[in-house]
Structure 1
Amino acid sequence: MDILSPQEMNFLIVDDVDNMRRSIRAMLKLLNYGKLFYEAANGRDAWEFLQDENITIHFIISDYHMPHTTGTELLNLIRSSRRTRDIPFLMVTAEANMDIVAEAAEHDVDAYLTKPFVTATLDHKIKELLDRIRNPPPVTIHLEKSRRLEEEGNLAGAIAEAKKAAAANSHSSRPFRELGRLFAKKGEIEKAQACFEQAIQRNRLDVTSYHALGQIAFRRNNTEKAISYFSRAMEISPRHSDRALQFAKLLFKKKQLQEAEKVLKLVLRHKVNDIDFKEEMGEMALEGGLYNLAAKAFREAIKGDANRQYLNKKLGAALLKAGEHSEGARILEAAAAQSPKDVELLIQLAKAYMEMGMPRRADNVAARIFRIDPGNLEARNIMEKCA
């Protein structure tokens, strides 16, 4: 591929800290790099820049930790698009922890730069990255050919090129990972599994291969093996717990609740500050019959975001299902005070009082329902039982 000189490039600088963006831009200008400069405060805004056909970006320098869309989430979007996938991407991290490196490598980051850094370091890293792109090693050339052949529908040719890539660098996990993916796409699962196993033998941090092996094990009904692979993937890269969430959904479908609970608890430990995830997990656990876990997830979501008081309805339902009638009724009463015309909520509350042997309270709640919805049969049945 043709690569411009750094002086002719348009740079996109992505960082949620204004001073850091200005600092990187100043360094680039000092080096006489950059024709045009664009800035974004997070990956979401950066992706919008990249979708604008009137803007051409030749080089991206992005922070890892950012709100809304992180650096690796942005990288994933970029690598998934034919239009943007070949843009050089330099990831900036406060520290190159194992999980960050593994996560970025999974999406084929071109290079890392650890904060703090000086102009000379930035210069060296950009030159090194561009030189590697201009003069790719044989393994990269074969993998590029493999990708093009796959896109043309020539799966056999793509596999042949991936095999050449593996022969060119037998120590790299990437060719074997690609071979595994291609064989899986072709439906040759035995060969795919063998390739993914070779990938993790060469790189114990190859998250993608662990994930793929987990999927294969699950399809073969080897649940314990699947959990083992998914657990290892999350140990390496806990931020990619969405894969485990999908796995838990499959376990629910198989009615393997104990295994699903193991997976969800593992995810919850890593998603400490992700409120959206906790809400989703609570709903999944409630639907799947893991009521105590659902209550825990809903509590944490409400605690983390005061605007999610609407979850009290689901929290109350989970507590009732878990046998915590008194606490569940208390939560539902509070929710009903905020949503006094929510018939479904009031029915739950009335039933809770019936379970607790408190017919008078149940009757009062049923009467409230009847005033809102005079034709409600459940409210009528509750009132008849309480008479």
Structure 2
Amino acid sequence: MVEENNSDLINEAQKFFEKGKYNQAESILNQLILRNHKEPLIFHMLGTIYYDRGKFNKAVRAFKRALEIDPGFTDASVGLSIILNDLGRYDEGKHIFDEAHQRLEKKKQQTDPYINEKFAIKHDELGELYSQYKKYNDALEQFYKARNLSSRKAEISLKIVDCYQKLGADQKAIKELEKIIQAFPSFETARLRLAKIYVSKNQRQLARQQWEKVLENNPENKKAKDLLRQLDSGKQIELT
């Protein structure tokens, strides 16, 4: 009977939690803890509530408790790694996240797009963080992982291109852009970026081909029109 009552309380707390009624949810969750009920979901919800209130240290303890009970609790791992990054504990956050990712792969369960996207978002965030600190090789590693897991392949590929350009590796940037265009022929941003690199390398006819392709797909693209006009007039091409 006690176990059934605990299950009812968890369900009730979860309903409040999902509706954003954190005060009510917290009250029930604390009751369950006083009963010594060891369910990782309890501590995961508490960790999220504490994080929302800016109580980061309490949130860290709650998420860690969830992982002590169930090391494979993915949501708690992701939540903990996000908080650690917010606190500037980047290496620790990355370690937690990578461990969770490795455990998930070892299980060899059926691919879950929702879980993959959550991991992709985290890799993407870490890539952005490394980019901010000009650690472009580390950023590349994270962006490649994000792209492999995410459905946002074109968007993340452009971040990979950015890193290669910052590293002065234009040929690698070109190859990445060519792959994007092959997969997404109507992706105008990729074609414009590729044309920009060609202009910087004085390969104007290759740039022309990309601008013309953009206008084939979208005759109203002002940027491609203006750049082609500058090319035909023999003026210096203004790239922004």
| C-alpha distance 337-154 of structure 1, shift in aligned 2 (>3 A) | closer
Say whether the 8 Å CA contact 1:281–1:294 is kept in structure 2: no
In the other structure, the counterpart of 1:335 is 210
Say whether the 8 Å CA contact 1:245–1:267 is kept in structure 2: yes
Say whether the 8 Å CA contact 1:295–1:315 is kept in structure 2: yes
Question: 2-side partners of 1:299 and 1:319: how far apart?
Answer: 12
Q: Once the two structures are superposed, what CA deviation does each residue of 1:25-75 show, in whole Å capped at 9, x if it has no partner?
A: xxxxxxxxxxxxxxxxxxxxxxxxxxxxxxxxxxxxxxxxxxxxxxxxxxx
Say whether the 8 Å CA contact 1:251–1:257 is kept in structure 2: yes
In the other structure, the counterpart of 2:155 is 280
Structure 1 gap ranges (5+)? 1-135, 350-364, 371-375, 382-387
Question: 1-side partners of 2:159 and 2:43: how far apart?
Answer: 35
Partner SS state of residue 221, structure 1: coil
Sequence identity of aligned pairs in percent?
Answer: 11
Q: What amino acid does structure 2 have at the position aligned with 1:336?
A: W
Name which of 76, 84, 96 aligns with 1:209. Answer: 76
Q: Does 1:229 align with 2:96?
A: yes
In the other structure, the counterpart of 1:302 is 181
Tell me by how many angstroms 1:252 deviates: 3.7
In the other structure, the counterpart of 1:194 is 61
Q: What amino acid does structure 2 have at the position aligned with 1:315?
A: L
TM-score by length of 1: 0.45
Name which of 248, 257, 274 aligns with 2:127. Answer: 248
Structure 2 gap ranges (5+)? 105-114
Question: 2-side partners of 1:309 and 1:230: how far apart?
Answer: 34
Say whether the 8 Å CA contact 2:211–2:224 is kept in structure 1: yes
Name which of 232, 235, 239 aligns with 1:368. Answer: 232
For residues 22-171 of structure 1, the aligned pairs below 5 Å read 137-147=4-14, 151=19, 153=21, 155=23, 157-166=24-33, 167=35, 169-170=37-38
| C-alpha distance 346-329 of structure 1, shift in aligned 2 (>3 A) | farther
Tell me by how many angstroms 1:196 deviates: 0.8
| C-alpha distance 225-295 of structure 1, shift in aligned 2 (>3 A) | farther
Q: What amino acid does structure 1 have at the position aligned with 2:159?
A: M
> After the TM superposition, which of the residue ranges 204-213 and 233-242 deviates more from structure 2?
233-242
Q: What amino acid does structure 1 have at the position aligned with 2:116?
A: P
Q: Once the two structures are superposed, what CA deviation does each residue of 1:144-199 show, in whole Å capped at 9, x if it has no partner?
A: 333455558562x53232133344531x3211111111121222211111111121
Question: 2-side partners of 1:346 and 1:337: how far apart?
Answer: 9
Q: Which has the higher strand share?
A: 1
Say whether the 8 Å CA contact 2:158–2:190 is kept in structure 1: no
Say whether the 8 Å CA contact 1:138–1:165 is kept in structure 2: no
Q: What amino acid does structure 2 have at the position aligned with 1:264?
A: F
Q: Does 1:173 align with 2:30?
A: no
Partner SS state of residue 72, structure 2: coil
Tell me by how many angstroms 1:238 deviates: 3.2
Q: What amino acid does structure 1 have at the position aligned with 2:91?
A: E
Question: 2-side partners of 1:281 and 1:262: how far apart?
Answer: 12
Select the structure of larger CA radius of gyration. Answer: 1
Say whether the 8 Å CA contact 1:217–1:223 is kept in structure 2: yes
Q: What amino acid does structure 2 have at the position aligned with 1:195?
A: A
| CA RMSD of superposed structures (Å) | 3.9
Question: 2-side partners of 1:223 and 1:152: how far apart?
Answer: 28
In the other structure, the counterpart of 1:262 is 141
Tell me by how many angstroms 1:217 deviates: 1.6
| C-alpha distance 180-332 of structure 1, shift in aligned 2 (>3 A) | same
Question: 1-side partners of 2:121 and 2:175: how far apart?
Answer: 19
Count of aligned positions:
215
Question: 1-side partners of 2:100 and 2:198: how far apart?
Answer: 32
Question: 1-side partners of 2:233 and 2:6: how far apart?
Answer: 69
Question: 1-side partners of 2:20 and 2:210: how far apart?
Answer: 56
Q: What amino acid does structure 1 have at the position aligned with 2:209?
A: A
Question: 2-side partners of 1:367 and 1:177: how far apart?
Answer: 58
Question: 2-side partners of 1:189 and 1:195: how far apart?
Answer: 10
